[in-house]
Amino acid sequence: MIKDLLPKVQMVKNYSNSFVVELNNSCILIDCGMDKKAKEILKIIEKTGKELKAVLITHGHLDHINGLAKIKEKFPDALVVSSQEDKLAVEGKEVLLPKGIKGFFFRMLIPLVKSKGVKVDETFRENYAQLKVIKTPGHTKGSVSFLLSGKTKVLFCGDLILNPNKLSLPPEDFNWNKQKMVESIEKISKLDFDCLLPGHGEAIAKDAKKKVLEFLYELKRKQF
């Protein structure tokens, strides 16, 4: 479905979603999932016939950065770009853990997950190629979203909003600040976009902005 609607965007489904975005003379990868999916991502990039210009990271959770080292092995000149706040997580110098008891168990499991930090070449500016960078903190301190301009305007929202069966927030234990998330969702609800591509779940290709506005209304209603 996404390929029919957006011929220049390909989604790779893993525990999290990654997106290969073709530009005029190159391509960009948004998030890189767990390293077991790196081969599939690399095949898609190779099929474009274009050089990978950059890997853009929406946030520093392991399921969005674990495959980065394998991507860089194949494309050593590709820039790695993240937010300043999540830079240390991408570089493997810290691990963003969930809260409470889940964080305790995740810390025990970390040695079992082969994850190699990769140097961040740049932190985000206001725009990156055809993508507008929008700071959307809440899931992590440095979470960002990207708005792709074109005939169909596409919003890549990372884990700000998930869509397993319907729009939802990630589990509370995995979020840095819920109030900041609501504020960030309000921020993106004011943007002009046609399609929403979340970090988990299915793409929303129809009435995306309307659904985000309805979701925001429900979140605010539950706050009061």
Task: Convert the pLDDT of each residue in 176-222 to its tens digit.
Answer: 999 999 999 999 999 999 999 999 999 999 999 999 999 999 999 88
Amino acid making up residue 171: P
Q: What is the DSSP code (8-state) at residue 201?
A: B
Locate the domains of the chain by residue range: 2-223
Q: Residue 114's pLDDT band (boundaries 50, 70, 90)?
A: low
pLDDT surpassing 80 at residue 150: yes
Phi/psi for 194 (5° steps) reads -105, -30
pTM, rounded to two decimals:
0.93
Lowest pLDDT segment from 38-42, 115-119, 136-140, 161-165: 115-119
CATH code reported for the domain at 2-223:
3.60.15.10
